[in-house]
Amino acid sequence: MVKRIVTGAKYGFSSWLRQRVTAVIMLIITVLFFAFLLNLALHTNSSIDSWRNLFNDFLVKFVVQLFFSALVLHGWIGVRDLWMDYIKSNLLRLTLHVVTLLWLAVNFIYSIKIIWA
């Protein structure tokens, strides 16, 4: 028996692409971060100040914010996929979407607060 189904939201590909692009951004920043850590470890004169100074740099703040933005977007798509795969009830799925969004939004605002404080 075939049930009538409602599909055709035109956003599948953009989400898929965003998920990949954000993954690449996070990967690059992670590599840069570890490179910096390595650099820090190799230089004996490194101190808590050089660490703190780093995060005063606007560019670094921007990159870190970019990382968290990418993480939130990536997480949203991934978690939404989970709900879409497993949750059949429209109402429950919508609720979970909203909860996820709220949670990610709170995290995002908190990341702004930390980075730019």
Partner 1 sequence: MNKKMKFSIYRYNPEVDTQPYYQDVEIEVTNLDKKLLNALVKIKEQVDDSIAFRRSCREGVCGSDAININGRNGLACLTDLAKLKEPVVLRPIPGLPVIRDLIVDMTQFFHQYNSIKPYVIDHNQMPSRERLQSPKDREELNGVIECILCACCTTACPSFWWNPDKFLGPAALLHAYRFIADTRDEATAERLDDLNDPYKLFRCHTIMNCADVCPKNLNPTKAIGKIKEFMLSRVI
Between 21 and 40, whose beta carbon lies closer to partner 1? 21
CA distances from 35 to 59, 91, 100 (A): 16, 46, 33
User: DSSP letter at 7?
Assistant: -
Q: In degrees to the nearest 10, what's the CA dihedral of 59, 61, 63, 66? A: -140
Between 16 and 62, whose beta carbon lies closer to partner 1? 16
Compute the least distance from the CB of residue 9 to partner 1, in Å: 6
Contact set with partner 1 (CB under 8 A):
1-3, 5, 7-13, 15-17, 81, 84-86
Compute the least distance from the CB of residue 108 to partner 1, in Å: 22
CA atoms within 13 A on the CB side of 113: 6
Between 3 and 113, whose beta carbon lies closer to partner 1? 3
Compute the least distance from the CB of residue 45 to partner 1, in Å: 45
